[in-house]
Structures are given as structure tokens and as C-alpha cells.
Structure 1
Amino acid sequence: MGYNNAQEWHLQMRKKYGDRYAIFFGQQLSIFLCNEEDIKEVFIRNFSNFSDRGVVDIFRETKLNASLLQNTYADGWKHVRSAIAPIFSTGKMKAMHETMNTKIGTLLEILEEKSESGEKWDIYDDFQGLTLDVIGKCAFAIDSNCQRDRNDVFYVEARNFITNIDLRQNPLIGTSIIIPELMWLWKLLYRFTGLASAELPMVGGLHNVYKRRRGGEGSDSVDLLKLLLDREDDKTNGMTKKEVIENCFAFLLAGYETTSTALTYCAYLLSRYPEVQQRLYEEIEETKRTKHGLDYDSIHQMKYLDAVYKESLRYYPPVIHFISRTCLSDITINDQFYPKGCLVTVQANTVHRNKANWENPDKFDPDRFLESAESNQLKWIPFGIGPRYCVGMRFAEMEFKTTIVKLIEKFELSRIEGEPDLIPDCNGVIMRPKDPVRLSLKLRKVV
């Protein structure tokens, strides 16, 4: 099928075989679901039989096994989630919002400098610098300088790790998926891969940060690591050192590439749909007038912004290969037999582009979300489904909305004549732009 076109291949599979189809990777059966009713039955109503996230065995060799990204029911995912979830309460989000605003301010300064220079540049690169700086400060109280310095060690190590997750850069991962029977060999070879060497300095750095914070550094900070350390001290619902460090690692990986990709897609779409951008700008100005500014509360009350946010993620979901569960025992649901050990997978882009789920699914139309969102619950799945949906969803939403509001408040985005249309490209997990995304940014006149 070719990993270069995995997302298109799955769309074609759905069109050819319907809303349920199956693939064997070696002897591993994977069943793919595309319709709302099947998704509800497996991921919600029968969750107890599908509680373990389906993780490719080769990734069990990484330093993520104690994290919510990979841990199983037996490993205590429920315990870890109950410890982490309160970290993303409204009160904690508001405390992090001010820190986030400072980093977004740096982004706006950089974009203004570049727009005045007349140069063309890839805005995706700027969003990656932003999200790393935000994660560094909000997660670990690290004042990185990724936006201004591409040689910042935090930036270099994160980019190196993400590059090595790409199946085309790391063929061992792709081969292990296609021929899982030789997993003993793939695991033996894993230690010699770029991915294995890329994660060592990152995890080592987190160990050092952990040590410094345990020594009292940054004790007055409100950040993820501080809150996890508080949880570690909780004798009844605490976390181990391994759980703290590996969940910090997971938060870094999950919150960096995905959010920067989502921001890039949204900026691109707003440049292509000026009427949507203008309507959003008018809502921003109206909110400033009636709510006396753009703070956490006023931003989250903006209905059209919320519609743009949701439609951008529906149209271009950054993560398309991660909603997967392992069947824990034989079960038949809606006349479909699921044998023990099979993987059940839902691909976000396939669900989001299914005509049975959405009217005119290939049309970018934020208005579809201005009506009641209740019916969209299992059709809009960029953050996953059921009890194991992304625990950091509210943080990602806050970062996305705040960045887009500040960006559109300051700049008018438009396409550059001659620049190619955006082509999504799947690297195995993340669906990112294939080519640089170059836009024209024009400073708005201050009235």
C-alpha cells in the first residue's frame, strides 16, 4: 500500500469495502471501523473488553510504557489517568494561560519581523518552535529559546526524536508492523536504531530536570512536572518516579508535534477561506469590546472560534493512526466477531471524511459546528474516543485557540501566488504538511 499514501489508501479501502474492513499484518488481525454505531459499541459500551491501547510491540522498547500513551489495564492506566486528569482542571489551565501568552507574544514578534522583511518562510517551523517553548515552560518550567534559536538543545533533541518516528526514516518500525512474527529480531535490532539513540538524551534530560525539581528548584511554579511531583508525594493516589518521568516524556511528544501541525493546518485554511477569517476577526474584535479583553474565559466563550477549531481538526486531523484497542477476549458485536488479541482501529480522517457521518465532508465549513455538538461526539475524534481519549485535550485546545486568536487579531493571512496547495502526508502516526507552508502575513491597522 505504501506508507507515503497511507491516509488515502484507508479512504479508498472504506469506499471499496464499507464501514468495516480488516487487514492481516502477518498473523496480526486488524479490524478498522468507520461508522458511529460500531465505534460506540466497541469503544464505549464494551470498553471493558477493549480497554488496552493497541500499541505496536516495537514501541514497547521505548521509554513510554508507564505513560498513558501505552500502558495497559494491568499496568494501571486507570490509576495513572486518575492521578494526571486533575492537572488539567480549569484553575490549572488559567494559571498556565499567562505563561502561554508570553510565548505566543514572542511568536508574533518573529512573524512581524519576517513579514516586514519580505522573505518567504515556512510557518510550520515557527509553530514548532512555539509549541516546544510552551511545553518547556508549562510542563517543566524550562525557559527554552526554540523560537529564536534552532540550535537550542531542547529543539534539536525533540526534532531528532520526531524525525526517527517517521516510518520512512526508520524502516525497522514499518517492517515490524508488516512482519510481527519476527518481533524478537526487531526488538534486538531496535537498540541500534536512530529512535533508540534519539530518546536517550531526552529521557536523560528529564531525569536531570526531575532531580533539580526534587531539590526544590521551581517550587513556586505551576507546571506539569510540579503537579506530578505533588502526585508522587500522595501516598494514596501517588505515582512512581518512572511514571512521572515517562508521562512527562509522553506529554512532550504528544503536545509538541500535534499542536504545531494543527495550527499550521488552521492558518493555511484561514488563508484559503478569507470569508471565514474575516468572520473570525470580527468575533475577536467584538469579544474585546464586550468582554474587556482576550483572557482565558473570553476566548473559550467565542462560538465561531470554537467552530473554526473543530472544523480545522475535522478537516485535517493531525493524528490518524493512534485510536486502536486490543480485544481482551472473544466477543461478537453487531454480527461482527472480534477474536481475542485482534486490534480494533478507528482512523480519524476516515471517520471525518465519511459521508454517512458528515454532510459534504470534503468541504471546509465551520458553520456545521454552530449547531448542537452533542450529535458529533463519535464523529469528531481528533483526540480519541471513550475513557482513553487524550488527557491533555483541554491544554491543546487552550494553546490552539489562544494562538489563532492572537494571530488573526494581529495579521491578515492570505495565500502567496504560485505556492502549491497543501498536501497532507502521513509519516505513520502524524499527518503533517508534505511541503513548506508559506503564507503572506499583513499587519492589520490598529483602529
Structure 2
Amino acid sequence: MYSFLSNILQRATSQNISGLLIAAPLLHLCYKIIYAFLFSPVRHVPGPWLSRVTRLPLLYATLKLQRTAYADDLIQKYGPLVVLAPDQVHTNDQEAMKIIYDRTSSKSHFYEGMGSWKGVTVTLGFKTYHEAAPSRNYLIQCFQNRNLAILLENLETHCQRFVDVLEKKSKLGECTDGVYWFRLLALDIVTDVLWGEEKSLLLNTGNSGTAFLRRFHAFSKWNALKSFIPGADFYVRNFGSFEWKTLRNDCSDMDVSARDALGRWKNRGEQSHDRDVLSMLLGMGGKDKSWTVPIDDMPAYMVEMMAAGSSTSSHTAAFICWALMRHPEAQKILRKELFEASPDINALDLKNTQTLPYLEAVIKETMRLWPMIPGPLERHLGKSITVNGMIVPPGVIASTSAYTQGRLESVYPNAEEFCPERWLNESEDMNINWIPFGTGSRACPGSNLVLTELRYIVHMTFRNFKAVPPPPDQDSDLELKDVFAAVTTAGHCWVKFVSQPDAIW
């Protein structure tokens, strides 16, 4: 077919250069339309006709930070299997999901950009399971419970600093931006856990802290955008506005923060290096030569681990506060459980957080409704999938999303409602479709660390305070937008904390 169209193009333009300029794009469009409707391996799958021909609708939604909403809307309109872009499908079928994310599938081109940092490919960026397995296995070992007991020794100190900040705000009657302050806390925790960083952002919110947060935000947003949208880096570098160029430069400067941290880590002298993930990783790599990373390449891994270990915990903690201040009965139940687990505010035993069922239910319900990585996670199929009798062959890009799976009415009755109680008697299907950390062979290796952080943070926060809605001028619905990681539409999540360590309500 392509040869046939080429002959037409040659005859149509042999005497006329201007004809070439007109005919070439038209014939290319004709080729794409004919391919999409007659030859594409997903031509039998429902979906918008334009999405069959071009990726532009998906790229536009990505640029508008509406990637998740775009995919979910198509599922609601067309059914459990839909064309998302040329030779790309999206589904909410849980049996297909198991195949999409098994070891035979490989990641799409997006991850090559998102998972590399200045020439260094990190765990996220390896396209196949076997390429990623060595570094993944080491990270999983680091975050096993026996190692977390060592890594999280200082967690209570960081949480107490956070409680002190909230106490001051409570006395002044001020509201707290949960997105901002929980991020500071999470970054303090994760940099301590990952490379033993002693500097506290909670205690230092001046210029250096602000610059670090700005770079961190830019990394999360810009790195994903340039990976999804071809040519974005070239266009912004040469023609972008001041705002976009600043975003790009701040992302690039995240390397400065990571290298500075690595320098401080190297210069700790006689101080012990056995209580941070970086030391563990280098120690494991030294024993097993199947995975070794030059020390100068470590900043790339540090940036990846810092993003993975802080964004989910900080945003989820803020979302938990938002949900509980609007569901006071759920907040009362949680605080009652925390008071029973830690009756003496001056002698908290945070080890109890690991076995509190309602605390666990609140965390899982929040992550079901507002997952930090909400949108389609793309894979090139290694095996075919079948949904509603429609077969999609290997090689096609397929995805599911945590946002859509978490709102399946057949799995979670009254799925739009915040109801932690549903997790007190959870079903197998509920667990299968709860995928805020991804699922299958490439699920997040740091999920155990994040969940442990959340248990500690929520325990100390709600053992000391109750959360109430802020004034109307600071109140807003919790709406998310995303490229890859989610952010709040308003950019904030305002909460008013009332100090109440001696009474449940």
C-alpha cells in the first residue's frame, strides 16, 4: 500500500514543487487513515476516529494535565476496551491487567525519557523486566521490614518537628497547606532514609529550601512532559516562554541538589554509613557484580528514589486530611483507634501503627480515590489480551489506570464515596484493582517504605490534632490533574488543625 501511494505522489508532483508541498501531507494523512481503519491490529476496538489516526488528542490532554481524565472518559463512553491512540488501547478489565503488566511485556518509549537522568538510566527507565530486575531486587531488599527498622530510626524525630509546626499554627488559628508542609516532612524523612541527610527542610524553609522544592516540582512535571511529547525539550529550549524555560532549567538543576547531597554523604568522615539506602545499595552491589553503579552515577538514582519516596506519601497524607475533615465520623473512629493504641501522648509507641486496621483502611481508601500515579501506565504487550471477545495482539501498547480501577462500581459499591469501612472486610477483587503503586512485575519497589511513612505520619498527626475545614475562601474540592504524577488543581490542600492531644473529640 505504501508503494502504491508513493507512486501516486511521484506522478502528482513530478512537474510541480508546490504540488509536492500540498500532496505529500495529504497522502500521508490518507495512508494513516487507510492503515487505521483497514490494517491496524486494533481496528476492531471501539474509540474516537481521530485517536485511531493520530496521537494528538492524547498529547493535547497530556499538555493540559488531563491525561487521566481523558482515558477515563473514553472508558466510560466506549466500554472496557478503547483505542487511546494509534495502535494503543486502554482497558479496565482486571484479567487483561494481569497480562499487561506481566514479565513478558515491556515499557513504552515514555519511560526511556522519564527514567533516565543526564545519560544515566535508572530503574524506572529499563524497558524490560530482566533489565530492571537487578536494581529492583536490591531496592526491595532495602525496604524489607527488617531493614526498615534500621532506616526509620529517626522517623519519630521528623514527625515531632512536624507536630511542633502544626502546634504553632494551631495556636495562631492559621490554616495549613497540606501539599506544602507534608512535602517538606516527606522530603526530610526520605532524604534521611536514603542517604542519611541531617539538614531539615521543616526547620529551614528559606531560600535554600524554596529552591530545592522548586527544583523538585519541576523534575516531576517537566521530566514527564518532555517524555510524553516529542520535541518538547527542543521547542522550549529555543522558543519557550520564560515560565517554560524556568521549569526546564529547574528540572535540570535537580542534578545540583543531588550532587551536593552526594558530596555531603561522602564527607561524613567516620560517621556510620550503615543506616541509609545508598550505603546498602553500594554494599550489595559490591558483593554481587550483576548490578554495579559508579558512584558518580548515583545522583540519578538519588533523584529517582527521592521522587518515588516522597511524592506519594506527602500528597496522600494531605488527601487523608482533606477527606477526614469532611467525614468527621471517620475521623472520630480513627482518633479513637489511635488513642487506644497510644494512650500516653508522651510515650508514643509508633510500632503499633503497623497493626491498626482502621488506620490502614483510611490510607487504602484515600489512595483508591486519589492515587498519586493515577493515569495510564503503558506497556508493549508481550502476549495477547482478550476483552469482551476482542483480541489485542502482542506488540500493541496497552494500559490500565489506578484512577479507573479504583472506581469500578462492580468492585467498590458506591465507588465515588469515601468509605474506609469497606477495607475492614476486603475482597480479593478489591486488592487486585487497588493499584496506586502499579501492579505486576514492575510495581513500585518502595511501596513498603511509603506505606510505613504514611502510617507513622498519620498516627502522629491525628493523635495530636483533629482536622476541621478551613474558611470558605480557602476551601475547595479535591480535584487532581496530572502528566504522570498527580497534583491538586488548586495547587494547595488547605486544612485547619486543632490541637487536641487529650480528648478524642
Q: Secondary structure of 2:285's partner?
A: helix
* Residue 173 (1) aligns with residue 225 (2): yes
Q: Secondary structure of 1:439's partner?
A: strand
How far apart, in 2, do the equivalents of 1:65 and 1:220 lie?
24
Residue 234 of structure 1 corresponds to which residue in structure 2?
287
In the alignment, is the contact (CA less than 8 A) between 1:422 and 1:433 conserved in 2?
no
In the alignment, is the contact (CA less than 8 A) between 1:324 and 1:345 conserved in 2?
yes
How far apart, in 2, do the equivalents of 1:310 and 1:293 lie?
27
- Taking structure 1 as reference, are residues 294 and 243 closer, same or farther at Cα in structure 2, changes over 3 Å only? farther
In the alignment, is the contact (CA less than 8 A) between 1:325 and 1:345 conserved in 2?
yes
Which stretch shifts more, 144-153 or 393-402?
144-153
CA RMSD of aligned residues (A): 2.9
Residue 198 of structure 1 corresponds to which residue in structure 2?
250
Q: What runs of 5+ residues in structure 1 fail to find an aligned partner?
A: none
**Number of equivalent positions:** 430
Matches for 1:321-336 after TM superposition, within 5 Å: 321=375, 323-328=377-382, 331-334=384-387, 335-336=389-390
* Residue 110 (1) aligns with residue 142 (2): no
Q: Secondary structure of 2:253's partner?
A: helix
Q: Secondary structure of 2:371's partner?
A: coil
Which of 201, 215, 230 aligns to 1:160? It is 215
- Aligned residue identity for 2:258: L
- Aligned residue identity for 2:79: G
How far apart, in 2, do the equivalents of 1:154 and 1:341 lie?
45
In the alignment, is the contact (CA less than 8 A) between 1:65 and 1:71 conserved in 2?
no
Calculate the TM-score normalised by the size of structure 1: 0.86
Which stretch shifts more, 197-206 or 373-382?
197-206
In the alignment, is the contact (CA less than 8 A) between 1:425 and 1:432 conserved in 2?
yes
How far apart, in 2, do the equivalents of 1:194 and 1:117 lie?
35
Which of 301, 304, 310 aligns to 1:256? It is 310
- Taking structure 1 as reference, are residues 215 and 231 closer, same or farther at Cα in structure 2, changes over 3 Å only? farther
How far apart, in 1, do the equivalents of 2:480 and 2:426 lie?
32
Residue 495 of structure 2 corresponds to which residue in structure 1?
439
How far apart, in 1, do the equivalents of 2:287 and 2:259 lie?
20
Residue 92 of structure 2 corresponds to which residue in structure 1?
34
Query: RCO higher in 1 or 2 (8 Å CA, sep ≥ 6)?
Result: 1
* Residue 21 (1) aligns with residue 82 (2): yes
TM superposition shift of 1:89: 1.3
Which stretch shifts more, 87-96 or 3-12?
3-12
TM superposition shift of 1:56: 5.2
* Residue 222 (1) aligns with residue 275 (2): yes
In the alignment, is the contact (CA less than 8 A) between 1:213 and 1:219 conserved in 2?
no
TM superposition shift of 1:95: 1.7
- Taking structure 1 as reference, are residues 101 and 319 closer, same or farther at Cα in structure 2, changes over 3 Å only? same
Q: Deviations over 1:90-121 (max 9, x none)?
A: 12111233311111111110011011112334
* Residue 95 (1) aligns with residue 150 (2): yes
Matches for 1:212-361 after TM superposition, within 5 Å: 213-214=265-266, 217=269, 218-241=271-294, 244-289=298-343, 294-321=348-375, 323-328=377-382, 331-334=384-387, 335-361=389-415
TM superposition shift of 1:30: 2.5
- Aligned residue identity for 2:477: L
Q: Secondary structure of 1:233's partner?
A: helix
In the alignment, is the contact (CA less than 8 A) between 1:58 and 1:187 conserved in 2?
no
In the alignment, is the contact (CA less than 8 A) between 1:32 and 1:344 conserved in 2?
yes
Calculate the TM-score normalised by the size of structure 2: 0.77
* Residue 10 (1) aligns with residue 88 (2): no
In the alignment, is the contact (CA less than 8 A) between 1:58 and 1:186 conserved in 2?
no
Q: What runs of 5+ residues in structure 2 fail to find an aligned partner?
A: 1-56, 239-244
Which of 475, 480, 501 aligns to 1:425? It is 480
- Aligned residue identity for 1:21: V
TM superposition shift of 1:413: 0.8
